[in-house]
Structure 1
Amino acid sequence: MKRTSLSVLTTVLLAGATLSGCSESQPGAGATSAPATSAATQSASHPDVFHFRIGTLDAVALKDGDIDAANDGKTFGVGQPTDQVAALLAAAGQPTDVLHLSIQPLLVRDGARVLLFDTGAADASFARAGRLPASLRAAGVEPSQVTDIFISHAHPDHAGGLLTREGALAFPNAAIHLSAPEWDALKGDADAAALVAAIAPKVATFQPGAAIIPGTVTAVAVDGHTPGHTAYEIASGDERLLYLGDSAHHYVVSVQRPEWTVQYDGDAPLAQASRRALLQRAADGNLRVYAVHFPFPGLGRVDAQGDGFVWVPER
């Protein structure tokens, strides 16, 4: 099963999305806090901005919006009884009828370079989003100051903010980094022709696993979600942060049951194996993780627990 088309993904999301209110609750009883390796603070003046550090690098979680996916057996835990999904959610203190997904691109300042990881959903109809420009400015950065954009994959909740409503480049001075397989798939998508034409002069492709900014940003291939889906390792000295992309969507279901099928994955069996392998790598290495769809700000670690894992947010 392949779902490389932006329009196909939008249809899937619309089918599973409920546009009701969304809570940003954190894991419930039983979760423990991971020790913070760097200072982290939420902006007192702007709740959509969360500052932290990766070694000597300044980093900021930037809230763009939310997606709500119904627990209807069609989106997460496909083929599983909905009461099993509900029980997993209830044990974490979450609503049992809906799965809340946050959307938070990541900003990193590296000397003169201003790096943005994914661009949010903009005004896509399946999400309540489009707050990235305001969040970015609240963090003290204008769109024209962004020098490099790293796209995990071309689904519209990650690449939707590349263009303005008028079809112009939202970040006119930024190189747009995405994997060569992802770019090839995007160019082959007739529904993405306008996006491809607009961003083509700015696109800088890389091979899976490449050191894109040596010593700072390395691509981590996580196969199955899309043809060139990529996580990123961001480094400063001995400190590392693993940006998950869509390796895991939900902080309970994706982490505790990585083998459950996700409708968004183009090649579900491959994505499930990749998800488990990446979570195992994170747990074994006690890696600091940034999860774009977990409760804001999406910063924490993954611990092994039984046959699965558990998300441990930084406090």
Structure 2
Amino acid sequence: MRRFDPTRAVLTLALAAVLAACADPAPPPATVDAPPPPMATADTAPASDSADVHRFRIGSLDAAVLRDGDIHVPNDGKTLAVGIPKPEVDAVLTQAGEPTDTVHLGVQALLVRSGDRVLLFDTGAGDADFADAGRLPASLRAAGVEPAQVTDIFISHAHPDHVGGLTDAAGQTLFANASVHLSAPEWQAVQAESANAALVAAISPRVDAFAPGAEVVPGVTAIPVEGHTPGHSAYEIVDGDARLLYIGDAAHHFAVSVQRPQWTIAFDGDAPVAEASREALLARAADSAVTIASPHFPYPGLGRIVRREGSFVWAPLQ
């Protein structure tokens, strides 16, 4: 993706304004202890539970995390902690119980049923050669939903591990009836890259390019988190007093990115801006106790950000 150069002042003000709702004290979290029945319409038989489907609720909304696969990157100082001495990175990983030779990232999507809408947040990596992925279609069906039943797809950003599952090997859309929502700056950047020509052709008729920070559909508001790509968005999903914040690539690794938000990540288009965005989002999430859904944290990637010893830690929901 192309780099861009917004000022930190604009970044901080915009992020604070859009995330102001997250400052409310201790809202009811998304619960995981009472899974709903499989998501199925009258013409779709409920599927049996699957290890790749983690069901939960956001208020009264049925939701599920869908496993797509995994990404493994070397801990070589060139990816998630660029230029940081390896012993420092190793110490963070070891304390988190992680290996120090390879950094493991999950790839997962979020499914939410809201009234007549079936919402899907990101679409995984598809058959990308950099990931052991491509399980999303099977996970979706295991949750009782056919691709044609998805009405709305929310793209955090257009990196291939988030849009790879939009099309099949022939370049045809896999979600024929879904509107594809992404921010206008992100869509503009996607169209400007010749490598994206096939993707653009497949999804253009169904794209909704929204203004950053917009309420995209009732109950789903985009949260600009700048620096990763030109129009990267998190999404806040609200039902009554219950909220869930889907963070996209605001943070990649549950230990490295959370405990050391100022360490440079090679995937960020504008690293200084992304680092400021990451720290601001983690602070807001910690102070509001909002439930987080992360597509790259260990499956199912549901939990909270907690302040500890001058930094942050990831507290997964049990």
Interval containing the TM-score (normalised by the shorter chain): 0.7 to 0.9
Structure 1 residue 94 corresponds to structure 2 residue 98: yes
> Residue 191 of structure 1: SS of its match in structure 2?
helix
User: What is the deviation of 1:39?
Assistant: 3.6
Structure 2 alignment gaps of length 5 or more: 5-27, 39-47
The amino acid across from 2:312 in the alignment is F
Structure 1 residue 166 corresponds to structure 2 residue 170: yes
User: What is the deviation of 1:147?
Assistant: 0.2
> Residue 274 of structure 1: SS of its match in structure 2?
helix
Change (3 A) 1:3 1:65: farther
Structure 1 residue 293 corresponds to structure 2 residue 296: yes
> Residue 81 of structure 2: SS of its match in structure 1?
strand
The 8 Å contact of residues 179 and 229 in structure 1, kept in 2 or not, is answered as yes
**2:53 paired residue number:** 49
The 8 Å contact of residues 29 and 243 in structure 2, kept in 1 or not, is answered as no
**2:15 paired residue number:** none
> Residue 212 of structure 2: SS of its match in structure 1?
coil
User: What is the deviation of 1:41?
Assistant: 6.1
> Residue 107 of structure 1: SS of its match in structure 2?
strand
1:125-204 alignment to 2 at 5 Å? Answer: 125-204=129-208
Q: Deviation digits for residues 154-192 of structure 1, max 9, x if unmatched?
A: 000001111011111100000000000000000000110
User: What is the deviation of 1:37?
Assistant: 4.6
The amino acid across from 1:182 in the alignment is E
Structure 1 residue 79 corresponds to structure 2 residue 88: no
Structure 1 residue 38 corresponds to structure 2 residue 31: yes
Identity of aligned residues (%): 61
In structure 2, how many angstroms separate the alpha carbons of the residues matched to 1:153 and 1:61? 18
**2:45 paired residue number:** none
The amino acid across from 2:235 in the alignment is Y
The 8 Å contact of residues 220 and 238 in structure 2, kept in 1 or not, is answered as yes
In structure 1, how many angstroms separate the alpha carbons of the residues matched to 2:29 and 2:283? 20
**2:268 paired residue number:** 265
**2:241 paired residue number:** 238
In structure 2, how many angstroms separate the alpha carbons of the residues matched to 1:190 and 1:82? 36
In structure 1, how many angstroms separate the alpha carbons of the residues matched to 2:83 and 2:188? 31
In structure 2, how many angstroms separate the alpha carbons of the residues matched to 1:284 and 1:262? 24
The 8 Å contact of residues 29 and 58 in structure 2, kept in 1 or not, is answered as no
**1:119 paired residue number:** 123
The amino acid across from 1:269 in the alignment is P
User: What is the deviation of 1:36?
Assistant: 6.1
In structure 1, how many angstroms separate the alpha carbons of the residues matched to 2:34 and 2:144? 15
The amino acid across from 2:164 in the alignment is G
**2:112 paired residue number:** 108
> Residue 263 of structure 1: SS of its match in structure 2?
coil
The 8 Å contact of residues 236 and 244 in structure 2, kept in 1 or not, is answered as yes
**1:220 paired residue number:** 223
In structure 1, how many angstroms separate the alpha carbons of the residues matched to 2:96 and 2:133? 25
In structure 2, how many angstroms separate the alpha carbons of the residues matched to 1:55 and 1:131? 27
The amino acid across from 1:107 in the alignment is L
> Residue 63 of structure 1: SS of its match in structure 2?
strand
> Residue 105 of structure 1: SS of its match in structure 2?
strand
**1:281 paired residue number:** 284
In structure 2, how many angstroms separate the alpha carbons of the residues matched to 1:37 and 1:220? 19
In structure 1, how many angstroms separate the alpha carbons of the residues matched to 2:208 and 2:76? 39
Aligned positions, number? 284
User: With structure 2 as the length reference, what TM-score do the two structures score?
Assistant: 0.87
User: What is the deviation of 1:40?
Assistant: 3.9
The 8 Å contact of residues 2 and 267 in structure 1, kept in 2 or not, is answered as no
Q: Deviation digits for residues 22-45 of structure 1, max 9, x if unmatched?
A: xxxxxxxxxxxxx96524468974
The 8 Å contact of residues 29 and 242 in structure 2, kept in 1 or not, is answered as no
In structure 2, how many angstroms separate the alpha carbons of the residues matched to 1:53 and 1:170? 26
- Over the aligned positions, Cα root-mean-square deviation in angstroms equals 1.6
> Residue 100 of structure 2: SS of its match in structure 1?
coil
The 8 Å contact of residues 60 and 108 in structure 1, kept in 2 or not, is answered as yes
1:60-71 alignment to 2 at 5 Å? Answer: 60-71=64-75
**1:32 paired residue number:** none
Structure 1 residue 209 corresponds to structure 2 residue 202: no
Structure 1 alignment gaps of length 5 or more: 5-34
Q: Deviation digits for residues 105-152 of structure 1, max 9, x if unmatched?
A: 000000110000000000100000000000000000000000000000
